[in-house]
Chain A
């Protein structure tokens, strides 16, 4: 069983040492909840790489990492799982190796495929939360449709330059449809001009991880029915209601 030893310790009211610094925030029950949870991360680039890393360290018991792409030199500025040694290697496979080296409590399943109409439901069925770490509008809209149909919470983020956005979409929420009510004319946004410097995906990915932890443990308040849009060039953080 995944994380059996840690789960056994938790069942006896003991704290596995590796989670000592989690417990003050999420409690023993929250840690147990994470270890019994299943999360899919769709995309293992700038956002997804760090999301996978942090969820593995938090102790989410099952991670499915979906990405058919391979690492390239232009990923090295920001994608934490890319190294000079793993160029041309599949991102999901590298993510799985990384998870195994971090936390043996975590069962990780790499999927070296892009999410599409034919595999979406099969790949995401049974997940407790799905994380959007994609990089096109069309793939995000597909992900939004599939998670809505499967009634799975979706944590969305997107980035460009100094800017980014984060939102949690719970089953039945209209916020994701509202966000993409007007489909952007191109399949990518202003990142085609601004690029993606290192700090922006790290910021958005960290916020996504906080959303996942809040959803799974039931603590706090997710960024729901509103979009957090950050623009750190001028330290702007805006919430846009999308109910």
Chain B
């Protein structure tokens, strides 16, 4: 099945050819968010906010065909 990935800020370097950091990837049924990050070789520690279809989510959530996943790194400056 296909899920859409949106990478923000520094995470875009993991998909340098993807316009605006947006790409679709094939994942197996039953895959979790952590599995998706593993496929993309993104370390879990690099991701602070996980969004699925506009809503905050977490690493252990199972993704579904057509889901829109957003990954945001931690920003902390002030």
CA distance A165 to B49 in the complex (A): 11
CA distance A181 to B47 in the complex (A): 13
Shortest Cβ distance from residue A50 to the other chain B in the assembled complex, whole angstroms = 11
Interface presence of B9 (CB below 8 A): yes
Given contacts A163-B75, A188-B76, A188-B77, contact A231 B9 (CB under 8 A): yes
Q: How large is the interface on A (under 10, 10 to 19, 20 to 34, 35 or more residues)?
A: 35 or more
Shortest Cβ distance from residue B74 to the other chain A in the assembled complex, whole angstroms = 4
Q: Beta-carbon contacts of A135-164 to B below 8 Å, as 1s and 0s?
A: 111001000000000000000011111111
**A-side contacts of B58, CB under 8 Å:** 181-182
Q: Beta-carbon contacts of B30-67 to A below 8 Å, as 1s and 0s?
A: 00000000000000010011010011101000000000
Cβ-defined contact, A189 with B78, below 8 A: no
Q: Which A residue's beta carbon lies closest to that of B7?
A: A231
CA distance A159 to B49 in the complex (A): 14
Per the CB 8 Å criterion, the residue count for chain B at the interface is 22
Shortest Cβ distance from residue B59 to the other chain A in the assembled complex, whole angstroms = 8
Cβ-defined contact, B20 with A236, below 8 A: yes
CA distance A43 to B76 in the complex (A): 13
Cβ-defined contact, A189 with B48, below 8 A: yes
Interface presence of A238 (CB below 8 A): yes
Shortest Cβ distance from residue B34 to the other chain A in the assembled complex, whole angstroms = 12
Interface majority SS (helix, strand, loop, mixed), chain A: mixed
CA distance A132 to B76 in the complex (A): 11
**B-side contacts of A48, CB under 8 Å:** 78
CA distance A39 to B6 in the complex (A): 37
Partner of A229, one of B8, B55, B77: B8
Cβ-defined contact, A189 with B73, below 8 A: yes
Q: Which A residue's beta carbon lies closest to that of B19?
A: A234
Partner of B74, one of A133, A190, A239, A242: A190
Shortest Cβ distance from residue A210 to the other chain B in the assembled complex, whole angstroms = 18
Partner of B77, one of A159, A178, A181, A185: A159
Binding site for B on A (CB under 8 A): 43, 45-48, 132-137, 140, 157-165, 178-179, 181-182, 184-191, 193-194, 196, 200-201, 227, 229, 231, 233-234, 236, 238-242
18 further A-B pairs in the complex, CB-CB below 8 A; given A159-B78, A160-B76, A189-B48: A46-B77, A46-B78, A48-B78, A134-B78, A135-B76, A136-B76, A140-B76, A160-B9, A163-B75, A190-B10, A190-B73, A194-B9, A194-B10, A201-B77, A233-B9, A238-B70, A240-B51, A240-B55
A-B contact pairs, 23 of them (CB 8 A): A46-B77, A46-B78, A132-B78, A135-B76, A135-B77, A135-B78, A136-B76, A137-B76, A140-B76, A158-B75, A159-B78, A161-B10, A162-B9, A179-B49, A189-B48, A190-B10, A190-B73, A196-B77, A200-B77, A233-B9, A238-B51, A240-B51, A240-B55
